[in-house]
Structure 1
Amino acid sequence: MVSRRQQSGFSSDAPGCLVFLGTARAQAAAIFATPSPGRVTDPVIGRVQKTRAAVGAVTTFLMIWTYGVDGGWSEVFEDGVTKVFLAPLLLILVGPLVIGGFILYAPAEHRPLLRSRLRYPLKAVGWYLGIPVGAVAAAVGILFLARFLSDVSYVLGLLLYLAILVTGVPFAVWLVAFLAFASGAAARYAFNTADVHASLPAVLTAVLVWVLNLVSLGDGLPNGPLAVQLAAVLGGPLSVTAVSYWELHVLRTRYGVRIRG
């Protein structure tokens, strides 16, 4: 039996702050990356995906190192953080269209079953949006209560403000860490859409990378010659699409997973 601490990725000898953040990671994994009967886990697919990501990161680093980037490395960091949180939101917006088209493309006799499984990604989306919204609503309510108590009794209001400071700051740090881990897991596993059909994450990933690319074009083309600019703009989406297509091929030939079977 694997403990929650082991799931967090930090041992009992790790500093308390790392264990604390590890609970956020474990909670995100429990919601968005829990293995299920509908999810096909192939180690070869995982290695290819990681290799593509590593090659893409190294290529991007070398291109920036050679030709520079407007805003410097801080701009690169901010862009990376933005994409981590933007990807799940784009999935929430674009995903229903892709999933709807996917179900319509599937054989008619399979559509009722696929629709019945939509509760799994909907539950994941609900957690992703509900936790931060609920936290903000609770914070606003507690602050209003503290203000009200301050009008009634200065001591009671002060004690509540101190309690908010002692408990609220660590929780805010935990919440940010949870959202970061949850955003990565939600984008990688496409909000547990493998529970609807094992092919859906690959299809959604291919669509998402092009949508993200279009959004990124709003910042302009990267520095460098035209050939480098085109490679930078198209290289990532094309490579991700190729890996997704190959993943669908592996799922079909090795595991018998077909969209129109």
Structure 2
Amino acid sequence: MSAWNPQGPPQQPHHPQGPPGPLVPPQPQPYPYNVPPHQGGYPPQPYPYPYPPGYPQPAPRVGVFRRMWRAGGPIAIARRVFRPSRPDRVEDAVVARIQKIRTYVGLGAVLWVTYSYKLVDSASGAASDRLNDSWITILVLAVTFPVFIGWFVLLARPPARRQLLRRAAKPSGAVLAIIGGVAVFPAAVLSGLADGKLAVNPVMAVVSWLLTVATLVWVLPFIIYGMGLSLLHVFRTADIHETVPPVLTLTLVWEMALVNVFTGSYTGVPLGVRIALLLGGPLSVTAVSYWELRRLRTNHGLTLRGALMR
């Protein structure tokens, strides 16, 4: 039940044998394993192999450390923090596929120009430049996010404001998580952990070593994977409403275009190629964003005005 659907989920018609309840899809029935094959079943099989078709297979055994890593590893935690998780959210596989293709094509174009015009000396330099660009984008998105969400909530009608604010809690947590993760590295430098100043005795030496290993093994993968998910899912703003990610992406991409113009990005590239790089990304993202909004309206009945209850 929400401000956009006050009646709640569809109910089953009343039946004298019990009260109405939410619609439950029928559960698939397993194949009978103790019925002869000519009657549509399978004879019983000895344990543990072979299992007849349709019989539930046993889960493969997983070690303790692997289970711990799957539950609390950096990749698993990053997926929980940066992926949208609202149960009634509309997921469109076609839109997700187009967004990935656009991202890969844009990254490939930038790398091609970087190597073609010798803008960096090595592959490590190119990787460093792309990481810096991603971090600048994350910073711009982190600054734009509260301003955009604030205006979005203010423009909504009062019945929807409280629920929009409640839905914005997890996206706000994602913003704080990525900023907090990156802040670990300057904190390590300022505290003396990076240059070994904390290792004043054997105990502190062991503690410093453990903190350094944890930073490299856990924090660094969490940040890198989280930055990718943050850019792909726009800080999981689909948890607020499905129309928020394309509109926020549209705002962000033109902000980054202005940043690239004022910072002199792609210096040394011919003027025509530079204009294509500066405008190609924003124009393609704009087209994809408008197409996504149109697809949400025509296929799922979701509009920006509907999100604001206007």
**Shorter-chain TM-score range:** 0.7 to 0.9
Q: Structure 1 residues 138, 228: CA separation in 2 closer, same or farther (over 3 Å shift)?
A: closer
By percentage of residues, which structure has more helix? 1
Number of the residue aligned with 2:168? 118
CA distance in 2, matches of 1:134, 1:222: 32
Q: Percent identity?
A: 33
CA distance in 1, matches of 2:296, 2:280: 24
Q: Structure 1 residues 102, 160: CA separation in 2 closer, same or farther (over 3 Å shift)?
A: same
Question: Structure 2 length as normaliser, TM-score?
Answer: 0.65
Q: 1:38-187 residue pairs with structure 2 within 5 A? A: 38-69=88-119, 73-131=123-181, 133=183, 157-165=201-209, 167-173=210-216, 174-187=218-231
Q: Structure 1 residues 134, 228: CA separation in 2 closer, same or farther (over 3 Å shift)?
A: closer
Query: How many angstroms does 1:235 deviate by?
Result: 0.2
Number of the residue aligned with 1:191? 235
Residue type at the aligned position of 1:195: D
Query: How many angstroms does 1:74 deviate by?
Result: 4.6
CA distance in 2, matches of 1:171, 1:108: 46
Q: Structure 1 residues 34, 170: CA separation in 2 closer, same or farther (over 3 Å shift)?
A: farther
Partner residue of 2:271 out of 226, 246, 251: 226
CA distance in 1, matches of 2:115, 2:190: 45
Query: How many angstroms does 1:246 deviate by?
Result: 0.9
CA distance in 2, matches of 1:65, 1:136: 31
Residue type at the aligned position of 1:194: A
The alignment covers a number of residue pairs equal to: 237
Query: How many angstroms does 1:75 deviate by?
Result: 4.2
Query: How many angstroms does 1:90 deviate by?
Result: 1.5
SS class of match (1:41): coil
Partner residue of 1:205 out of 240, 245, 249: 249
Given that 2:192 and 2:198 are in contact with CA atoms closer than 8 Å, whether structure 1 keeps it comes out as no
Q: Structure 1 residues 225, 34: CA separation in 2 closer, same or farther (over 3 Å shift)?
A: closer
Residue type at the aligned position of 2:73: T
User: Are residues 1:25 and 2:75 paired?
Assistant: yes
CA distance in 2, matches of 1:40, 1:139: 43
Q: Structure 1 residues 149, 65: CA separation in 2 closer, same or farther (over 3 Å shift)?
A: closer
1:143-192 superposed Cα distances (whole Å, 9 cap, x missing partner): 7xx98995xxxxxx313312421x12220112111111112212222222
Given that 1:33 and 1:192 are in contact with CA atoms closer than 8 Å, whether structure 2 keeps it comes out as yes
Number of the residue aligned with 1:7? none
Bigger radius of gyration: 2
CA distance in 1, matches of 2:300, 2:156: 18
Residue type at the aligned position of 2:295: V
Q: Structure 1 residues 131, 55: CA separation in 2 closer, same or farther (over 3 Å shift)?
A: closer
CA distance in 2, matches of 1:248, 1:203: 8
1:32-52 superposed Cα distances (whole Å, 9 cap, x missing partner): 115322533211111111221
Tell me, which stretches of 5 or more residues in structure 1 are unaligned?
Answer: 1-11, 151-156
User: Are residues 1:251 and 2:282 paired?
Assistant: no
Deviates further, 68-77 or 247-256: 68-77
CA distance in 1, matches of 2:99, 2:213: 34
Given that 2:114 and 2:120 are in contact with CA atoms closer than 8 Å, whether structure 1 keeps it comes out as no
CA distance in 1, matches of 2:250, 2:205: 48
Given that 2:250 and 2:286 are in contact with CA atoms closer than 8 Å, whether structure 1 keeps it comes out as yes
Computed over aligned residues only, the root mean square deviation of the Cα atoms, in angstroms, reads: 3.4
